Structure 1
Amino acid sequence: MSGLKLFNTKSGVTEVTPRLADVEADVQSLVEAHMETLLGVRFLASEYSTGPVHGGRIDSLGLDENGSPVIVEYKRGVDAGVINQGLFYLSWLVDHRREFEHLVRDRLGVTAAAQVLWSGPRLICIAGDFTRYDVHAVREHRRSIDLVRYRLFGSELLGLETVASVSVRTPTARRAQRQTLVGGRSEPMDELVRAVDEALLGLGNGVNRIQRKQYRAYQRLRNFACVCPPQRSKLLVYLKADPKAVDLIPGFTRNVTGLGHHGTGDLEVQLRTPRDVERAEDLFRASYAAA
């Protein structure tokens, strides 16, 4: 985003100058009011106290699309302490799982609380900018961390850019991911699963893979694809691409808006052969770009 230029073309061509928020709280209140749209995270609490002993306040607490706990920390500009501060709170969160689950139950209900996924709690840092040392640091920590740069354009536009994204899973979660990749199915279906996995992971940097019992999610800041366990003759992939913008093909693509299914996304893609994976690549890229 640092090199992005935005122009208003309504009356001639006028550059819309990017700016930082006047105060950090302006960024926080804007993101919290639209957290699910902006980050794919359901908002739980603001300025959450970690108690007198720990002595801190978490800027925002949330739960992402896959049930992972999320801490969001904000800085108006560049702040070398934002990552360490967030990790400090993340350690507290892992040690207070029951308290967090009670919060989820009170705000989102019993079902959401029962499905909290503790294999990869996340820290999202939103700031005016980050240094190369920040980017290096997140790759050294054994935590799931997203660094997100923001800019305001005029009085109505907000830009978010993922600067770095690292996902770390527990050994149990990594074993579960490996087990779902191979074995227990016909060889052609195993090959199809591997081809889809390779295609989705290869779309760009910072793609994280999250394994749940009912599906596997592929995520940038938000989910852009969810792959369900293969059926006998096909593999179902759900994408965030807009079904209304796609020429739907019976037996290949389907609009599932409003229909119940595992994972997230309103466009269903049915894959039966490696050729189908090739046909779906443009749809994969469109969903990735929209995440």
Structure 2
Amino acid sequence: MSGLKLFHTTKSGIAEVMPRLAEVEADVQGLVEAHMETLLGVRFLAREYCTGLRHGGRIDSLGLDENGSPVIVEYKRGVDAGVINQGLFYLSWLMDHRREFEHLVRDRLGVTPAAQVLWSGPRLICIAGDFTRYDVHAVREHRRSIDLVRYRYFGNDLVGLETVASDTGQTRASRRVRRRAGGLEVSQRRIVAMAELTEAADEVLLGLADGVTRVQRKQYVAYQRLRNFACVIPPQRTKVLVYLKVDPKAVDLVPGFTRDVTGLGHHGTGDLEVQLRTERDLERAQDLFRASYAAA
């Protein structure tokens, strides 16, 4: 990984664990497919999926992410200048074969996930030994959701993934619109205040890093690094709910502000619920936002 050094410490000293590439591309593919949900937040559907005689190709891996977006994963052992174009070719095929993909989801995951596939945000994840600066530039130019992920093996039992570039292909202009509260009834003022608090949270979450992307679903808005790290529920009358991927047991829970929702049904993903009622709540939640981003 670029700039990263890993060391093994013992009582007698310290030794560097040297990074290495896979022996063959199939090793990377097999590892990721076996642990795709843990590594990428994507449920694995199929490998080497045939695109038919006319397209004459095979998609390395097909999956469905936490928000219901279709995902194509392409692998390269080292550097390959064609990986993005190859993936975009398959994305184009996928958008023309939506029903075929939905049938695959239904067969693998069931009727409900198949009915909730989010076609507004199909994703391409390229996992390779490295990428060129031209690859990184291409991600910003294409109007698609693309993630470039660099891998490295360390020793015999460690693997690292690093997001090199990530973009949704959509404009991230601020949605904030200030409204005058004068003349509004109390209930209307509350609605406006919660809407503005939601927009402020949106700005904070997107501002955590350049690689943060937003995915709009009917029931929530997800914020991704490579996986979801925060989900914001549409504002209620008196609060905005944010779900984070932070272990609730590692947090000093504060009644009325943070809650352990492990095992409880809710929209979005994450076991720590944060309740925002004021701008002050948003300020004190930012350390939790950063912790969830770091863990994603």
| Residues 73-119 of structure 1: per-residue CA shift (max 9 Å, x gap) | 00000000100110111100000000000000000000000000000
Residue 83 of structure 2 aligns with which residue? 82
Deviating above 2 A after TM superposition, structure 1's stretches of 4 or more consecutive aligned residues are 180-187
Match of 1:277 in 2: 282
- From the superposition, tell whether residues 48 and 181 of structure 1 become closer, same or farther in structure 2 (CA, over 3 Å): farther
Task: Write the mapping of 1:148-163 to structure 2, written as runs, cut at 5 A.
Answer: 148-163=149-164
Q: Secondary structure at the match of 1:9?
A: strand
Match of 2:141 in 1: 140
CA distance in 2, matches of 1:230, 1:189: 6
Q: CA shift at 1:150, angstroms? A: 0.3
The 3 A distance-change label for structure 1 pair 257 and 186 is same
Question: Given residue 47 of structure 1, which amino acid in structure 2 is its aligned partner?
Answer: E
Q: Which runs of 5+ in 1 are unaligned?
A: none
Distance in 2 between the 1:165 and 1:117 partners? 19
Aligned to 2:31: 30
Code of the aligned partner of 1:98: R
What is the DSSP-based 3-state SS (H/G/I as helix, E as strand, rest coil) of the residue aligned with 1:92?
A: helix
- Conserved in 2, the CA contact under 8 Å of 1:144 and 1:168? yes
TM-score, normalization by structure 1: 0.95
Residue aligned with 1:147, SS = strand
> 1:103 aligns to what?
104
1:233 and 2:238 are equivalent in the alignment:
yes
Q: C-alpha deviations, 1:12-62, integer Å up to 9, x for none?
A: 211100000000000000000000000000000000000111100000000
> Are the counterparts in 2 of residues 120 and 168 from structure 1 also a CA contact under 8 Å?
no
Q: Relative to structure 1, is the Cα distance of residues 181 and 58 closer, same or farther in structure 2, using a 3 angstrom cutoff?
A: farther
Number of the residue aligned with 1:39: 40
Secondary structure of 2:10 counterpart: coil
Same amino acid, percent of matched pairs:
82
Give the aligned length: 286
Residue 94 (1) aligns with residue 104 (2)? no
Report the 3-state secondary structure (helix = DSSP H, G, I; strand = E; otherwise coil) of the residue aligned with 2:47. Answer: strand
Whichever residue aligns with residue 8 of structure 1, its letter is: H
Report the CA distance between 1:244 and its aligned residue.
Answer: 1.1
Q: Give how far 1:182 is off.
A: 8.4
Structure 2, unmatched stretches of 5+, are 180-187
For 1:204 and 1:181, the matched residues in 2 are separated by 23
CA contact (8 A) 1:127 1:150 kept: yes
Confirm or deny that 1:264 pairs with 2:265.
Answer: no
How big is the alpha-carbon RMSD for the aligned residues of Structure 1 and Structure 2?
A: 1.8
